Amino acid sequence: MAGHSKWSNIKHRKGAQDKKRGKLFMKLAREIYMAAKEGGGDPDTNPNLRQAVDKARSNNMPNDNVDRAIKKATGDLEGVNYEEFTYEGYGPGGVAVMVTVLTDNKNRTAADVRHAFNKNDGNLGENGCVSFMFNRRGFLVIDRSTNEADEEEMLLEAIEAGAEDMETTDSHFEIYTEPEAFSEVKQTLEQDGYTFSTSEVTMIPETYTPLDEKGVEKMLKLIDMLEDNDDVSEVYHNLDADEEVLEKLS
């Protein structure tokens, strides 16, 4: 998983900006809505909904907002009908990009996503053009500064909990699971006293595309523009950038 920590840094940076923009709750509500619509409104029997609710609560989303999103999806409240789509393409320098959206107007959202790619030296492609480069996996990050476990101990506990793999950086343990095992692994490690700075089922790239500073700057502008769109839920990519460059640009 070489390079993934750099990708994580970008996600963490963008996550903080999402909170400042005040758009995070709306995006989380849409994720809850879709999960409940597809699998029912009971988190105990709908793993995707349980993950969406956990993600919302970890970001301090009020319970009323969570309940309202579920009720809209199950028909207990009237609301807008959202659909989920994925767009694929290439950013500057050939960086692979996947964009998931929840929208009530597909034509508007498709035009906005295409405009973002075109404006930032990228191009929107056909479905399947980059998705084969990514794997859907559970991803848990433990901050080493708040957990006393050493690398060997942490690896053993992660594997015993059902994790598939673990990578270690100077600051974090990064734990990977099969999507179906994510909730169980997370719950087991929480019971063992661990807390997570990131916990989600996400798309992990198999390979990474390095860019120089100018290319990274263009790529970050594309990410910014996409994530500024209210309809965009997630932006996945395989950018590999030098950490010093990321710090300078952020």
pLDDT per position as a tens digit, 35-67: 998 899 999 999 889 989 988 888 888 899 899
Residues 6+ away with beta carbon under 8 Å from 118: 124
Q: How many CB atoms lie within 10 A of CB 174?
A: 20
pLDDT at 106: 94
pTM over 0.85: no
**Which one has a higher pLDDT value, 111 or 169?**
111
Nearest of 244, 149, 138 to residue 200 by alpha carbon: 138
Average pLDDT, the chain: 87
Q: How far apart are CA 39 and CA 3, in angstroms?
A: 34
Q: Which residues of the chain form beta strands (DSSP E)?
A: 83-90, 96-103, 123-124, 134-143, 165-168, 172-177, 198-205, 209-210, 232-237, 239-240
Three-state DSSP class for residue 22: coil
Q: In the chain, pLDDT over 90 holds for what percent of residues? A: 52
Domain chopping of the chain, boundaries: 4-74
Mean pLDDT for 135-155 is 89
CATH top-level class for 4-74? Answer: mainly alpha
Q: How far apart are CA 211 and CA 219, in angstroms?
A: 9
Which stretch of 24-28, 52-56, 172-176, 211-215 has the lowest confidence by average pLDDT?
24-28
Instruction: Please check whether residue 121 is in contact with residue 221, taking contact to mean a CB–CB distance below 8 angstroms.
Output: no
Which stretch of 9-23, 101-115, 120-134, 217-231 has the lowest confidence by average pLDDT?
9-23
